[in-house]
Structure 1
Amino acid sequence: MVPLFQRPYVWDEDGQWAPLWEDVITTFDRREEREEDEIAPHFLGAIVLEQKRGALGSLEVREVIDGQQRLTTLQILIAALRDAYRALGVKTRLLSRLTKTLVNDADYVDSPDEEFKLWPTNRDRSAYTAVMRGDYRDSTQDPALPRIAAAYVFFREQIDAFLVRSDEDESETILDGLAEVLLEHLEVVVIDLGVDDNAQVIFETLNARGTALRASDLIKNALFRTLQDSGRPVDMLYEKYWEPLELPQWQTEVRLGRLRRPRLDIYVGFFLTVLLHREVQSHQLFTAARAYFGSDADRAEDFLTELARYARIYDQLDTGHIGTDAEQGCLTRLEIADTQTITPVLLWLFAHTDGADRQRALTLLEAYVVRRAICRLTSKNYNRLFLELLRRLSASEGPASGVIEQFLTSQDSESGLWPSDSDLRDALRSLPLYRLFKRDRLQRLLLAFEQHLTTDRTEPIPPSSKLSVEHLMPRSWHEHWALPADPAGAEDEEERRNTLLDTIGNLTLITGKLNSSLSNAAWSKKREHLLAHSALTLNRSLPTDWTTTWIERRSAMLAHAATSIWPRPAGHGDSPRRVTEAERDLMPDRGRGPDHPPQRDSTRTAAPSTRRDIGQHIVNAFADLEVGDFLTIGEIRKTPSPQYPVHDLPSAGAISARLFPGNGGRTTVPGVVGVIAGGRRGARKTG
């Protein structure tokens, strides 16, 4: 039996089916060249099985720990050969032996899942059963076939082709030869574990063979084996919490930065960041998860339920179907910043806040990151910045929007400064955003202006990915946009045009068809077409003459609008320090990934430690409580102790770091354990 929590069948033609068939044919040919007792078997690798306890007289059952892909493929190949015999109406002793490798003796079968020698994981059972019963005997290759059925059709076609190349009266001999190869000359090494052996350790050691397991596959296996070993109802837990994560939308490969990874693995990385309050690299996902729940069934079940809860939120965030219309607008405009590092904070907000508090929190985050994006301020430290914000949100008992406002407005470094209104206006008036922004980011920026300028008297126009960015004064303006006759004036005007050409004031949105028809046309024709065909507010008030002066005016108008769309909160240093030109990143977006890795400053030295015993402070917080009582990080922080009196309480981050140490470690505070209860991080007294 393949445990329900193992991944489904994933082998394919190029990677495994075709090489296996070639090995079978090679062995078949070698069999004809040598005496039977001289034939060297073909080795297929190792499989790991674990004995399961059963009632006296029942079928012996072994769980497949490693090797389910290989075992399943061999059963499919044998079924294909069995059906080739049946198609020719041939009955031999070898056909009977083949059939016995697929089905159990009916006298020992007590339930439907005992009918076949191999019983795959639940996602594959219907297709596997259909193959074993011959339902695909007349099928041909079709991309819509389940993977198991596609494997069967592949092997049937290979067998049929092999028979076609031989004389008709030799068909039975060839089928018997193939049967001998499958029954006698293919070998596997079987590691047969007892009921008390540690199957998970061996599974992890061997998982790198064959088709590499994803991090989420390894986590699933470790998670459910921990639950199974503790007697938890794994069928119910799997169906309720993990089965939704097996849907196709979670298995697709998506791009994150420069790499493509399974969407489920990307989500698991964000989830672990929320759970552990530390950044977890893609190669650390399994290690970090396993270190968190280990062999503790309670923590494993908590991990599973939280994973499923946050997955629903992530899926809604990712597809844009979450929250109110106003919140969806914030999330859409957040994409102007092109950063994924904010995702754990968004997950936390939609898991723990609602109403006006969440709306204001999202508005603050949007204003902060979009202002920095427009001003071309670096995002290289966002991973650490938003991780610290996440810690503060989790530890605070107050409104999330207040925590976000206080934290973000207090940032004063190059990697954290919230730009002022003046900085924002200067950037929009002077920076060549057309050259700096990717097209999709620039389109979202212009759509944000369009939505802001649209009044309640204007027909709503939904955002469209089909709109393209257009220069009002074309980049090739020389043919229809004459320069002044005066040489000095012409030189100045040409310089101004080249300077302003790619700024926001000279850009708009139009349909692709309108874009191609306008091309580099004169302004009179371009304006006529825009007024006739465009319904956007951005295009309805364009003047009869389009000059550099009008570009500057329009840039100023949009810059003023930007300060309203993305406001900086008042009362937190209304005049922050100005952005310096050296702090701007003027490298174009194209050709690089969105979230740049943080650069380490090798010249910075660590400050001397002034920490007191944070562990003893945590112990004191639980001193008068009963075993099993839970305190949030905020409650632990607010409990004064000899180490941290009421006027000098520790930081929530320090407490969190001690309860949830990095690199997968466990807390060393005696008598307590770091846990998540009701979605809040804290600790529970254990002794």
Structure 2
Amino acid sequence: MSKNLSGADYPLSKIFSSDFEYVIPPYQRPYAWTTDQTSELFEDLHSFYQYEPDEEYFLGSIVLIKEENKPHAEVIDGQQRLTTLTILLAVLSNKLQGDDRKALLQYILEPGNKFEGLESKPRLTVRSRDRDFFASYVQGLKFDELFAMDEKALENESRLNIKRNSQLLDKYVSEKLGDDVEQIESFTAFLLRKCYLVAVSTPNQKSAFRIFSVMNSRGLDLQPTDIIKADTIGMVELDAQREKYNERWEEMEVELGRSRFNDLFSYTRMIHAKEKAKRSLLEEFREHVLSKGIGPEDLISAVLEPYAEALLIAKNSNYVAVAHAEEVNRYLKWLNRIDNSDWVPTAIEFIKNNKDKPEYMAWFFERLERLAAFMHICAYNINQRIERYNKVLSALENGHSPTDPINEVELTDDEKYKMLKVLDGDIYELTSRRRNYLILRLDAFISDGEATYDPTILTIEHVLPQTVDKESEWAQWWPVAEERKIWVHRLANLVPLNKRRNSSARNFDFDKKKNAYFLGRKGVSSYALTTQVIGYTQWKPEDLPKRQMELIDILAENWRLKPDA
């Protein structure tokens, strides 16, 4: 082991002692453990305590920037465990009284000793954004106040995780140990004496980040973005500059949320690589993005921040401009109904460079939505979708403008033919996501795009039932089974409804079905397509060909599916 690198295993009584003064640096990720990881940790600890109380329990490793014989320890890896263990010790302290509580609190708060030159302070100081919150409610044992907080009022995800994990551990301690002081003390003694962490320390930041990049965390694996952050910001020499870059990084992460922030790196990789990922995101991001010699300033200013802003516009459908904004946002909302996100890299690349050209934005997103709808409805697989979008991404790198727009986002005549063929087929036999998208898009075209929809309560129903009783009116109107088979699943015979009604109404005769099944509680339908059907007086074989043609024409006109359109 290098002379600058040391490692040893310590019981928690030593980990949470005056030998260590933990500080979570600002460039670290937020506290991200959810109740899943916290539940797993507590159940593992309690099970071990019950069945193997005399054995030692290993909690994993932590990586610190720490000089020998000095307590100050900058946590590079391990904040999730240290924070969660602090919460657990605080919850246990809160269950005790008097001297017992005071004794246990010493593992949460350094009581100070003027003769040893020790100040009174928390053993663990979390990131500045959440420092006062954690110190007050967890380390200050104000759990009643914490539990009473409205989760929607909490400022960020880390505070939400702190609250939820505190509640979970409080619940588990109550269930497993009850109010039995001896049980609480026995379990606490097990934690402090029998549970160990390996602390790996180095005074060198570069070495610490290298260790951080190759080690796995227990419970919540490191995200590629955490390692990229360590690789990038860890190279900055000046503290002030590192703080500045970290703050901007953290603002993006908070604004996007952790999941969408991770997606941002996948989309950025796709924009640069223009091919399906073959290896891990970390490897490919390093190869296709960081290998270009991008430093912290350029990575944040020229790459991540512009794409993060574009991603928020794309996913929230909140483009703002003096003109065409409503039009652009309408297309973005439909794109977000597609059951994949393969369109996003193309969208954010265009938004990044053209958001100040609202007319061009409207032109592009009308075509991108049509392209996405085509691949969705025609059941393109992921490889086909990526290949097709990458043609557009490649074209975006070349010169284009509102007067000379890119042609690759347009459908080819062959693609238009494929889509028209699917539209005139058995729509109901498409997957539910594909047919729902199509039916709602058609309904929006009929209502001039003014209708709004809640797809969670949508069902697509047949006018002519799938099963026809031989004594019914349907059997008289549709005596030929083969003719029924041709039309039952096609566009003309399908209507959207807000929710499933009494299933027996599906086979009612036409007039009764319209009133009992198609009309809402207020005597009207929420959908233009269904309202059209309610206006029919009969539903016979001669009625459907004309309706089918009319509906196909509406789709063809609005999606411009005819050759040269």
Q: TM-score, normalised by structure 2?
A: 0.77
The Cα shift of 1:300 comes to: 2.4
The one-letter code of the counterpart of 2:326 is D
The answer on 1:193 being equivalent to 2:202 is yes
For the Cα contact (< 8 Å) 2:66–2:72, is it kept in 1?
Answer: yes
Aligned to 1:679: none
Change (3 A) 1:333 1:10: closer
The one-letter code of the counterpart of 1:349 is F
Aligned to 2:282: 286
The one-letter code of the counterpart of 1:474 is P
Aligned to 1:557: 550
Aligned to 1:215: 224
SS at match of 2:547: helix
The answer on 1:355 being equivalent to 2:358 is yes
For the Cα contact (< 8 Å) 1:219–1:286, is it kept in 2?
Answer: yes
Aligned to 2:318: 321
For the Cα contact (< 8 Å) 2:269–2:288, is it kept in 1?
Answer: no
Change (3 A) 1:47 1:241: closer
Question: 2:100 & 2:375 partners in 1: Cα distance?
Answer: 76
For the Cα contact (< 8 Å) 1:41–1:187, is it kept in 2?
Answer: yes
Out of 5, 26, 44, the residue aligned to residue 4 of structure 1 is 26
Aligned to 1:665: none
Greater radius of gyration (CA): 1
Aligned to 2:13: none
Change (3 A) 1:176 1:277: closer
Question: 2:176 & 2:368 partners in 1: Cα distance?
Answer: 64
Question: 1:226 & 1:569 partners in 2: Cα distance?
Answer: 56
Out of 389, 394, 408, the residue aligned to residue 397 of structure 2 is 394
Question: 2:217 & 2:317 partners in 1: Cα distance?
Answer: 36
The correspondence of residues 94-243 of structure 1 with structure 2, limited to 5 A, is: 99=106, 102-103=109-110, 105=112, 115-129=121-135, 130-136=137-143, 146-148=160-162, 151=165, 171=182, 181-195=190-204, 197-227=206-236, 229=237, 231=239, 233-243=241-251
Q: Deviations over 1:399-426 (max 9, x none)?
A: 49721x25645x68xxxx4224xx5555
The Cα shift of 1:16 comes to: 0.6
Out of 518, 522, 537, the residue aligned to residue 509 of structure 2 is 522
Structure 2: give runs of 5+ residues left out of the alignment.
1-22, 152-158
Question: 1:537 & 1:179 partners in 2: Cα distance?
Answer: 65
Out of 5, 9, 15, the residue aligned to residue 40 of structure 2 is 15
The Cα shift of 1:48 comes to: 1.7
Question: 1:317 & 1:218 partners in 2: Cα distance?
Answer: 26
Out of 277, 301, 312, the residue aligned to residue 309 of structure 2 is 312
Question: 1:455 & 1:160 partners in 2: Cα distance?
Answer: 58
Change (3 A) 1:443 1:241: same
Change (3 A) 1:137 1:395: same
The correspondence of residues 434-445 of structure 1 with structure 2, limited to 5 A, is: 434-438=428-432, 440-445=433-438
SS at match of 2:199: strand
For the Cα contact (< 8 Å) 1:104–1:117, is it kept in 2?
Answer: no
Structure 1: give runs of 5+ residues left out of the alignment.
31-39, 252-261, 575-687
Question: 1:52 & 1:551 partners in 2: Cα distance?
Answer: 82
Give the percent of matched residue pairs that are identical in Structure 1 and Structure 2.
20
For the Cα contact (< 8 Å) 2:328–2:362, is it kept in 1?
Answer: yes
For the Cα contact (< 8 Å) 2:67–2:202, is it kept in 1?
Answer: no
The answer on 1:477 being equivalent to 2:468 is yes
Aligned to 1:265: 262
Q: Deviations over 1:604-646 (max 9, x none)?
A: xxxxxxxxxxxxxxxxxxxxxxxxxxxxxxxxxxxxxxxxxxx
Question: 1:549 & 1:375 partners in 2: Cα distance?
Answer: 28
Change (3 A) 1:159 1:372: closer
Out of 497, 503, 528, the residue aligned to residue 484 of structure 2 is 497
The Cα shift of 1:176 comes to: 7.0
Change (3 A) 1:111 1:437: farther
Q: TM-score, normalised by structure 1?
A: 0.64
The Cα shift of 1:20 comes to: 2.5
For the Cα contact (< 8 Å) 1:310–1:347, is it kept in 2?
Answer: yes
Change (3 A) 1:294 1:358: closer
For the Cα contact (< 8 Å) 1:49–1:66, is it kept in 2?
Answer: yes
Instruction: State the Cα RMSD in Å.
Output: 4.2
Change (3 A) 1:441 1:138: closer
The Cα shift of 1:280 comes to: 5.7
Change (3 A) 1:518 1:213: same
Aligned to 1:47: 62
Q: Deviations over 1:131-177 (max 9, x none)?
A: 222222798799958544555566667777787686x8xx5xx7776
SS at match of 1:474: coil
Change (3 A) 1:204 1:386: same
The Cα shift of 1:15 comes to: 1.1
The answer on 1:62 being equivalent to 2:77 is no
